Amino acid sequence: MLRRFLDLADLSDDRLEAVLARARRLERSRTSPALAGKVVGLVFMNPSLRTLASMQAGVAQLGGSTFTISPGAGSWKLETRPGAVMDGDAAEHIREAIPVLGQYADALAVRCFARGVDLEEDLADGVIRAMAELSPVPFVNLESAAAHPCQALGDWKTLDDLEVPRRGGRFVLSWVWHPRGLPFAVPASTVAMAARRGMHVTVLRPDGYALPEPVMTRARALAAASGGEVVETADREAALAGAHVVYAKSWAAPSRYGQTGESELRAGLRHWRVEESWFAPAAPGAKFMHCLPVRRNVKVTDEVLDGPRSVVVRQAGNRLHAQKALLLEMLTEEGA
């Protein structure tokens, strides 16, 4: 039985296909008693709309229940650093909190974003890995410093639903402007997902915003194994030629990660906002994807977001079906 889901790579190809198939069945038939009597503990160190609501709703639809802990907002603020001298805000350490919560639940699912100070540290994803090690029960990553695997799983299903070709499908992950430098969890998981799906993946980004080399190296290795390809460019016209999907996301400049100078690098890049004109060289009916939340008319125009290309609401819906299928894989014999 799968005990940890920290990254999409934790699902073998066979298991991934089985989870996607189960997600499709659960979309057609939403309720079941499969998790009756089971409790899933949700720990949200950071805000959420979709992940929180879809986990709570999904477990309830499967006959189980959840409790939700928001450290620092109604429960003790949690320290995550090993060896910390805890004379600051945090009254409790994950070393106690996770094993304690694990006694009350059949699975734990945790959101814990990047600290945004040290790129190498965040890409190593040590905090979520430490929590998974501490958990006595199956453990799900609901977005960590370096990965958002539930998003990637839901997005894979969305691409399948839309019949975007796996082999030969052209997927563009485009950097877009945002008021601050964001971490790499979503872009890293997205580029890996599309590469593993066998697609031709283009990372479109301005100079200075290449994804960190470990993220690209991994994506290229996944593409090599699946028959896909991963390239990067700052040339929008070339990137969008024949594209089936444009997936918008913002991320920090790796060379300025955690530094105040990062905002200066971004200052002249506000025109990196998805507009309808971007799609002129794309394939007919090309889709627009975003994990949400999205800043309207900053990252993408109303015209695109409200138009027929946008599948962002469908993506969010697939979070529910995909996570339910994942939980059955992790918590039931049928799923094993």
In the bound complex, what is the minimum distance in angstroms from residue 291's beta carbon to ligand CP? 4
Query: Judged by CB, which is closer to ligand CP: 8, or 239?
Result: 8
Closest CA to 81 of 273, 209, 89: 89
The amino acid present at 212, given as its one-letter code, is P
Decide: is 50 part of the binding site for ligand CP (CB under 6 A): yes
H or E segment and range at residue 308: none
The SS3 of residue 200 is strand
CA dist 258 and 252 (Å) reads: 9
Choose the binding region for ligand CP from 23-31, 214-222, 255-263, 287-295 (rule: CB under 6 A).
287-295
End-to-end CA distance of the chain: 5
Q: What angle do CA 278, 197, 133 make, to 5 degrees?
A: 115
In the bound complex, what is the minimum distance in angstroms from residue 190's beta carbon to ligand CP? 11
In the bound complex, what is the minimum distance in angstroms from residue 221's beta carbon to ligand CP? 26
Report how many residues bind ligand CP under the rule CB under 6 A.
9
Query: Judged by CB, which is closer to ligand CP: 115, or 220?
Result: 115
Q: Find residue 204's DSSP bridge partners.
A: 174, 233
* Residue from 49, 84, 91, 336 in contact with ligand CP (CB under 6 A): 49
Choose the binding region for ligand CP from 48-56, 115-123, 170-178, 219-227 (rule: CB under 6 A).
48-56
In the bound complex, what is the minimum distance in angstroms from residue 70's beta carbon to ligand CP? 13
Choose the binding region for ligand CP from 61-69, 115-123, 222-230, 286-294 (rule: CB under 6 A).
286-294
Residues 6 or more apart whose CB falls under 8 angstroms from that of 213 comprise none
In the bound complex, what is the minimum distance in angstroms from residue 52's beta carbon to ligand CP? 6
Query: Judged by CB, which is closer to ligand CP: 49, or 238?
Result: 49
Choose the binding region for ligand CP from 82-90, 93-101, 240-248, 291-299 (rule: CB under 6 A).
291-299
Choose the binding region for ligand CP from 4-12, 245-253, 256-264, 290-298 (rule: CB under 6 A).
290-298
Q: Are 291 and 152 in contact (CB under 8 A)?
A: no
Residues 143-182 that bind ligand CP (CB under 6 A): 143, 151
* Residue from 18, 39, 48, 57 in contact with ligand CP (CB under 6 A): 48
CA dist 22 and 222 (Å) reads: 24
In the bound complex, what is the minimum distance in angstroms from residue 248's beta carbon to ligand CP? 13
Decide: is 292 part of the binding site for ligand CP (CB under 6 A): yes
E strands present in the chain: 4-5, 39-44, 65-69, 78-79, 92-93, 107-111, 139-141, 170-175, 200-204, 229-233, 245-249, 287-289
Query: Judged by CB, which is closer to ligand CP: 212, or 317?
Result: 317
Backbone angles phi, psi at 323, to 5 degrees: -70, -35
Decide: is 321 part of the binding site for ligand CP (CB under 6 A): no
**Per-residue CA distances from 222 to 215, 216, 218, 229 (Å):** 11, 10, 6, 9
Q: Which residues are near ligand CP by CB under 6 A?
A: 48-51, 143, 151, 291-293
